Amino acid sequence: MKTFEELAAGTMFSVSKGVPTLHKYDTSLTLIGEGRSAVVFRINSTDLALKVFLPGQERTAIEEASIYRLLAGNSYFPTLHGSGENYIVIDYIEGITIFNCLQYGLRISEEHIKVIDEALEQARTCGLNPSDVHLKNILITNSGDIKLIDVARFLQTKNCSQWDDIKWAYHTFYRRNVFPKRIPALILNLISLVYKRPTIQKWLTNSQKYA
């Protein structure tokens, strides 16, 4: 098998008007995710995932690797197996995201919420500031465990209320009998888009203050 560095170097992108396009990657890789700053592959016949960062995101790659090193030994987060200028290699995790649980009608329990809280608190004890925690970077594994991925923003210093807002929505809406069993991905993505608007942020702050 090629080295991690060779696999990352063989991944080719272009960026037009801020929109990245993936053109080429090694045949030993299977594409499993695309985001704003990176693409993620499973390295075939292994339990490893290769995350290759887009041009201009080298600092993010270095920061995310450093965060995983701080989290070494924490069972709630993947183990870092390698890193370079524009890539990291972590555990490949079999599971389903909280986003997909809502999409397909799979139950999210109160215990799941408590475990996620514990995972984030353990990250804080490592000197980190968990940020940008959203529905697509929390996974429930096939064995029912919680894993958090995409930790690149755990070094930022500003307060991020995203997880607290998710918890508030869980307790306020999700647990009601009338809550829909399944929510289409289109609607979930629309909620995510609207959520970022300042007026919604202000409403959430006031709603939680007086809840």
Q: Select from 57, 56, 24, 58 the least CA-distant residue to 41.
A: 24
Question: What DSSP string runs through 146-208?
Answer: EEE---TTTT--S---HHHHHHHHIIIIITSTTS-S---HHHHHHHHHHHTSHHHHHHHHHHH
User: What is the β-pairing status of strands 29-34 and 38-43?
Assistant: antiparallel
Catalytic residue, from 117, 132, 145, 164: name it.
132
Is residue 164 part of the annotated active site? The answer reads no
Could you tell me the end-to-end alpha-carbon distance of the chain, in angstroms, rounded to an integer? Answer: 55
Whole-angstrom distance, CA of residue 164 vs CA of residue 84 = 33
Handedness of CA 185, 44, 39, 126 (dihedral sign): positive
- Residues forming the active site: 132
